[in-house]
Amino acid sequence: MTQNSSESLGRLIRDARMQRGLSPEQVAQALHLEPSDLRAIETGARELDLASLTNIAATLQDPALTPTARTMHLRIKGPTKLAGSIDVRSSKNAAVALLCASLLNKGRTVLEGIAQIEEVNRILEVLSSIGVKVTWSDDKSELELVRPEMLDLDAMDIEAARRTRSVIMFLGPLLHLLPEFQLPYAGGCNLGTRTVTPHLQALAPFGLDVQATDGWYHASVREGHDGVRHITLTERGDTVTENVLMAAALHPGTTVIRNASPNYMVQDVCFFLQALGVQVEGVGSTTLTVTGLEEISTDVRVAPSEDPIEAMSLITAAVVTKSELTIRRAPIEFLEIELAILGDMGLKYDLTPEYSAANGKTRLVDITVHPSELHAAADKIHPMPFPGLNIDNLPFFAVIAAEAEGRTLIHDWVYENRAIHLLELNKLGANTQLLDPHRLVVNGPTRWRSQELICPPALRPAVCLLLASMAARGITVLRDVYVINRGYEDLANRLNKLGADIQVFFD
């Protein structure tokens, strides 16, 4: 944060405190700080990270101070050498699915280690607005959710709902709770057209009928089919699989889902349903057999697994800055293809023996990445549904290819618009060319240079810009990083702990 913005933010905090008639000691105590720390914040002598500002806004109950009400930017000074080790946080995609799945449970759901990210905040705002009691533990390591008997959908925070695609995952749980309801169109990253048709087709056997008009899904529910439900997904999508799992969990019969996604976040939903007493067979495969329950009312506690996409982001941070870095708690099962391709490109890395994630199921390793001379991949790099290369990891290969000697072809057959956003890397000195909206050629190596940039409306390409700018000489300003905060917890400060020089500032 610049001195000026630190000072003006400090003044706002002091004014909010005084308006509430609170002494520095009272507020410092509530924030677990020394009064001298609070004085330093209020005078602008101490810079604030995102988590501290969020805590202060909550303590002073001043929404104007919440980071989402202010636009956050980054100032990155490079080139950077990183060193040391960093833990991978739990995934955005499992978190949002579990938050939606908590609607199935009349008991108390406790989620451990949920990442404090904007996507989670949006879904929590939606859940609170419809009556779910949401409580974080003091240290934010646990999140408790308790559903009311009747949800009040009319009170839904529509603005929050529209900012995330995940709200589409309310369909599965809600079809058992309400005969009719409305949800706003799903948002999320702007990656071109993202269909919801597979969701509507797959939920129809549960009696769900959806008409989409004027920005709303109008859902009505009739009696579903009796007997065993065989559902073949027309696409192996992650959120559609999760939606069907949730619908099947409260269907007291058997549902067989074919062409299911076996991806990491789907596995976390399966583990959650199993903890609720729902029988789920075939976890990690493309055929899931679910035997649901009439009612779910269980006090349950689960921990979603670590994020393979964050792990890949951190590997990329090490590669682009030519640093030696240890990425701890990496879910290896969901990174194997990525590491195989990186190995072929010349990346040197070591893996520790495997150990278990907090969920007791996912296999983790620590990955130490060594500075390496990279060359272009022998073949085009393209994603596939798990167990292929994860589509969300593909953008990071553009940054890595820009580091490598030679020409790499990146083929994103899935998304119409994600590769286009990667052209922004050219502003930092990369040499990338779009052959068509799905195919990107990257010529490396790159002499990265600093630049003034605005985040594209897509999480992974935006993070790619942040990572590449750490390698650029000079000061890069990356404006409006909400999209990064959607999926990464306090990334700038966590990179700073490894040696990066990234200032957070707001306006």
Ligand X SMILES: C=C(OP(=O)(O)O)C(=O)O
Q: Rounded to an integer, what distance in angstroms lies between the CA atom of residue 492 and that of residue 483? A: 13
Part of the chain binding ligand UD1 (CB under 6 A), chosen from 105-113, 235-243, 286-294, 310-318 = 235-243
Nearer to ligand X, 172 or 487 (CB): 487
Does 194 help bind ligand UD1 (rule: CB under 6 A)?
yes
We find the least distance from the C-beta atom of residue 239 to ligand UD1, in angstroms, to be: 3
The length of the chain is 507
Indicate which of ligand UD1, ligand X, none lies near residue 221 (CB less than 5 to 8 Å, by partner kind): none
Q: Which residue is nearest to ligand X (CB)?
A: 188
Q: 235 phi and psi, to 5 degrees?
A: -135, 150
Query: Exactly one of 28, 53, 82, 96 binds ligand UD1 (CB under 6 A); which one?
Result: 96
Instruction: Find tokens 């749980």 and name the residue.
Output: 173
By CB under 6 A, residue 421 contacts ligand X = no
Q: Which is nearer to ligand X, 103 or 117 (CB)?
A: 117
Round to whole Å and give the CA distance between 488 and 499.
Answer: 18
Residue 403 structure tokens: 């580091």
How far apart are CB 164 and ligand X at their closest, in Å?
7
297 with 106: CB under 8 angstroms? yes
Q: Tell me, letter by letter, the H, E, C secondary structure of 140-160.
A: CCEEEEECCCCCCHHHCCHHH
Task: Name the token pair of 21.
Answer: 């008639």
Rule CB under 6 A: say whether 322 interacts with ligand X: no
CA-closest candidate to residue 461, choices 195, 187, 190: 190
Of residues 188 and 331, the one with the C-beta less far from ligand X = 188
Q: x/- string (CB under 6 A) for ligand UD1, residues 392-411? A: x-------------------
| Residue 290 · residue 273 · CB < 8 Å | yes
Count of other CB atoms within 10 angstroms of residue 390: 22
Site string for ligand X, 137-176 (x = CB under 6 A): ----------------------------x-----------
List binders of ligand UD1 among 64-93 (CB under 6 A): 93
Does 235 participate in binding ligand UD1 (rule CB under 6 A)? yes
The residues near 102 (Cβ < 8 Å, ≥ 6 apart) are 109, 111, 127, 132, 145, 147
- Collapsed DSSP state (helix, strand, coil) of residue 181: strand
173 preceded by a cis bond (ω within 30 of 0):
no
**Which one of 236, 382, 421, 438 is in contact with ligand UD1 (CB under 6 A)?**
236
**Phi, psi dihedrals of residue 96, rounded to the nearest 5°:** -65, -35
Least distance (Å) between residue 88 CB and ligand X: 15
Token pair of 275, please? 């903890």
Q: Does 385 bind ligand UD1 (CB under 6 A)?
A: yes
Q: Does 460 bind ligand X (CB under 6 A)?
A: yes
- Which residues lie near ligand X (CB under 6 A)? 165, 188-189, 392, 459-460, 487
Residues that bind ligand UD1 (CB under 6 A): 93, 96, 165-166, 194-195, 235-239, 265, 385, 391-392, 414
